[in-house]
Structure 1
Amino acid sequence: MLKKILLLLLLPIVGFSQNVILSDNAKVSILTCGTAPVSYAMYGHTGIRITDNVNQIDVVYNYGAFDFSTPNFMMKFVKGDLQYFVTSENYYDFEYNYKLDGRSIVAQELNLITAQKQQLFNELNISLTSDERFYTYKFIDKNCTTMIVDKINKILGSEVLKQPKSKQSYREILYPYMSDFYMKFGIQIIFGTKVDQPATRLFLPLEFEKVLETATLNGQKIAQPNIVLNKETITVPFSYMNSIYSLLAAIIILILINKKGIQITYFIFAGLLGLFFSLVGFFSLHEEILWNYNIFLFNPLLLVFAFYYWKKNTSKIILLGQISIAFMLIYLAYIVNKIQLLIVIPIVVLHLFWLVRIVMKYKKIVYK
Structure 2
Amino acid sequence: MHASGRTPASVACHRLGRICALLVLLACALLGWAPRAHAGVANAPGANLEVALITYGPGDTYWERFGHDAIELRDTVSGEAVTFNYGVFDFDEEGFLLHFAAGRMHYLMDAAPSDVDQHYYAEVGRSVTRQPLAFTASQAADLRDFLLWNLQPENARYDYDYYANNCATRVRDALDKALGGVLKKQLGARPGGMTYRQQTARLMSQQAWLMLILDVGLGPYADQPLSAWQESFLPMVLQTQIRHVTTNDADGAAHPVVLGEQLLSPNRLVAPPEQAPDLRLPLALAGLVLAALLLITRRFAPTVFAVIATFYLVLAGIVGMALIILWTLTTHHSAWANANLLIFNPLAWLLIATAWRARRGIPSSRFADMLIALQLLAVLIAWLLHLLPGVVQQNQPWLLFAMPCWLALAWCYRKRHING
The interval holding the TM-score normalised by the smaller chain is 0.7 to 0.9
Residue 307 of structure 2 is aligned to residue 256 of structure 1: no
Q: Which amino acid aligns with 1:303?
A: W
Range with greater deviation from structure 2 (26-35 or 218-227): 218-227
Match of 2:53 among 13, 25, 30: 30
Structure 2 contact 339–393 (Cα < 8 Å) conserved: no
Q: Is the 8 A contact 2:343 2:399 kept in 1?
A: no
Count of residue pairs brought into register by the alignment: 361
Alpha-carbon deviations, 1:296-346, whole Å to 9, x = none? 12122111122444455431222111211222232244469866534x356
Identity of aligned residues (%): 21
Aligned counterpart, 2:334: 288
Q: 1:35 to 1:26 in 2, by over 3 A?
A: same
Matched letter for residue 275 of structure 1: M
Give the Cα–Cα distance (whole angstroms) in 2 for the partners of residues 99 and 314 of structure 1. 64
CA distance in 2, matches of 1:253, 1:341: 17
Identify which range, 21-30 or 212-221, moves more after superposition: 21-30
Is the 8 Å Cα contact of residues 58 and 271 (structure 2) preserved in structure 1? no
Change (3 A) 1:237 1:340: same
Match of 2:217 in 1: 190
Q: CA deviation at 1:75?
A: 1.2
Is 2:266 the counterpart of 1:265?
A: no
Point out the more displaced range, 300-309 or 117-126. Answer: 300-309
Indicate whether 1:72 and 2:95 are aligned: yes
* Cα distance between partner residues in 2 of 1:126 and 1:91: 19
Choose from 9, 12, 30 the match for 2:13.
Answer: 9
Taking the aligned partners of 1:231 and 1:102, their CA distance within structure 2 comes to 8
Matched, 1:45 2:68: yes
How many angstroms apart in 1 are the aligned matches of 2:282 and 2:382? 23
1:204 equivalenced with 2:234 (yes/no): yes
Specify whether residues 245 and 166 from structure 1 end up closer, same or farther in structure 2 by C-alpha distance, changes over 3 A only. Answer: closer
TM-score, with length taken from structure 1: 0.87
> Are the structure 2 counterparts of residues 56 and 217 from structure 1 closer, same or farther at C-alpha, using a change threshold of 3 Å?
closer
Cross-structure match for 2:276: none
Q: Which amino acid aligns with 1:22?
A: A
User: Hey, what's the Cα distance between the residues in 1 that align with 2:349 and 2:95?
Assistant: 30
SS in 2 for 1:49: strand
Gaps of 5+ in 1: none
The CA deviation string for residues 62-117 of structure 1, in whole angstroms up to 9 with x for no partner, is 10211110122211111112211101111122112212332111111110011111
Whether 1:217 aligns to 2:247 is yes
Shift of 1:25: 3.8
Per-residue Cα deviation, 1:260-284 (whole angstroms, up to 9, x for no partner): 1221232022112202211332321
> Where in structure 2 are the equivalents of 1:163-178 lying within 5 Å?
163=188, 164-165=190-191, 168-178=194-204
Match of 2:418 among 345, 350, 364: 364
- After TM superposition, list the pairs within 5 Å mapping 1:300-339 onto structure 2: 300-311=346-357, 313-334=364-385
**Structure number with larger C-alpha Rg:** 2
From the two aligned structures, give the one with the greater helix fraction: 2
> Does 2:249 correspond to 1:226?
no
**Deviations, residues 165-218 of structure 1 (Å, cap 9, x unaligned):** 358533234333232222221111111121122224231111111111111123
The 8 Å contact of residues 37 and 179 in structure 1, kept in 2 or not, is answered as no
> Which 4+ stretches in 1 moved above 6 angstroms?
243-247
Contact 2:49 2:76 in 1 (8 A): yes
Q: TM-score, normalised by structure 2?
A: 0.77
CA distance in structure 2 between the partners assigned to 1:335 and 1:43 by the alignment: 29
Give, in whole Å, the separation in 2 of the partners of 1:339 and 1:283: 23
Letter in 1 for 2:92: S
The separation in 2 between residues aligned to 1:236 and 1:165, in whole angstroms, is 24
Q: CA deviation at 1:37?
A: 3.9
Structure 2 residue runs without a partner (length 5+): 31-41, 249-253, 274-278, 298-304, 358-362
Distance 1:27 1:237 in 2: 31
Inter-CA distance 323–308: structure 2 relative to 1 (3 Å threshold): same
Could you tell me how far apart the structure 1 residues matched to 2:259 and 2:110 are?
Answer: 25
SS at match of 1:223: coil
Query: How much is the aligned-residue C-alpha RMSD, in angstroms?
Result: 2.9
Matched residue, 1:126: 149
SS of aligned partner of 2:202 = helix
SS of the aligned residue for 2:83 comes to: strand
> Secondary structure at 1:298's aligned position in 2?
coil
Shift of the 237–76 alpha-carbon distance from structure 1 to 2, 3 Å rule, reads: closer
Check 1:160–1:245 CA distance in 2 against 1; reply closer, same or farther (3 A cut): closer
Q: 1:28, 1:263 → 2: CA distance?
A: 60
Amino acid at match of 1:317: A
Query: Does residue 155 of structure 1 match 2:155?
Result: no
Structure 2: how far apart are the matches of 1:297 and 1:46?
A: 39
- Equivalent position of 2:84 in the other structure: 61
Letter in 2 for 1:348: A
Q: Matches of 2:412 and 2:368 in 1, distance apart?
A: 8
What secondary structure sits across from 1:71 in the alignment?
A: coil
How far is 1:21 from its partner? 2.7
Q: Distance in 1 between matches of 2:271 and 2:72?
A: 29
